[in-house]
Amino acid sequence: MYKINCIGILTSGGDAPGMNAAIRSVTRTAIFNGIQVKAIYRGYKGLITGEIKEFHTEDVSNIIQRGGTILKTARCKEFMTPEGRQVAFETMQREGIDALVIIGGDGSLTGARIFAQEFDVPCIGLPGTIDNDLYGTDTTIGYDTALNTILDAVDKIRDTATSHERLFFVEVMGRDAGFLALNGAIASGAEAAIIPEFSTEVDQLEEFIKNGFRKSKNSSIVLVAESELTGGAMHYAERVKNEYPQYDVRVTILGHLQRGGSPTAHDRILASRLGAAAIDAIMEDQRNVMIGIEHDEIVYVPFSKAIKNDKPVKRDLVNVLKELSI
- A 10 A CB-CB count for 120 gives 9
Instruction: Output the CA–CA distances (angstroms, integers) from residue 214 to 40, 150, 153, 188, 244, in the order listed.
Output: 54, 25, 24, 19, 13
Concerning whether 131 is annotated as a catalytic residue, the answer is: yes
C-beta separation of 124 from 228 below 8 A: no
Orientation angle between helical segments 204-211 and 232-243, nearest 10 degrees: 60
What is the total residue count of the chain?
A: 326
Which residues are within 8 A (CB) of 163 and not within 5 positions of it... i.e. 6 or more apart?
Answer: none
Whole-angstrom distance, CA of residue 146 vs CA of residue 258: 5
Long-range contacts made by residues 293-301, C-beta under 8 angstroms, separation at least 24? 293/137, 293/138, 293/139, 294/136, 294/137, 294/138, 295/138, 298/273, 298/274, 299/136, 299/137, 301/135, 301/136, 301/137
Q: What are phi and psi of 278, to 5 degrees?
A: -60, -40
Rounded CA-CA distance 203/301 in Å is: 35
Q: How many CB atoms lie within 10 A of CB 322?
A: 16
Dist. CA 320–CA 315, nearest whole Å: 9
The helix (run of H) or strand (run of E) holding residue 305 is helix 303-308
Catalytic residue, chosen from 15, 98, 131, 267, is: 131
Strand-strand pairing, 289-294 and 123-127:
parallel
- Catalytic positions: 131
